[in-house]
Amino acid sequence: MTDDCLFCKIVAGEIPATIRFRDDSVIAFEDLNPQAPTHLLVVPRTHVRDIVELGQDPQLAGAFVAGVRATAAELGLTAFRTVFNTGAEVGQSVFHVHAHLLSGRPMGWPPG
């Protein structure tokens, strides 16, 4: 846990969030500014800055992806989009790796 990380504080229960899924590796909670009818943030319980750093730990990366899949399954989602922002230039505002899990509306391509 990093003392100044918003998501670490949510994982620790220090900041309230609407939790929709949790297991030993991840926690998933509702985004405060949803961009789709279903918009969750899935975060590993371990603090990792971004997907680049996550890739340095294949076991944690695998557990994280499995947690995204388990979250979608728990919610009964059969079609969804996952978004990873890496770097402030593309919209990462909390530097604790997280997947945006979006569903419930048509999504165009390309995104953005």
Q: HSE of 40 in the Cβ direction (CA atoms, 13 Å)?
A: 25
CA dist 23 and 44 (Å) reads 10
Give yes or no: 98 in active site.
yes
CA dist 44 and 57 (Å) reads 12
- Which residue type sits at 80? F
Asked if residue 40 lies in contact with residue 71, where contact means CB atoms within 8 angstroms, the answer is yes
Catalytic residue among 39, 47, 96, 98: 98
Catalytically active residues, by annotation: 98
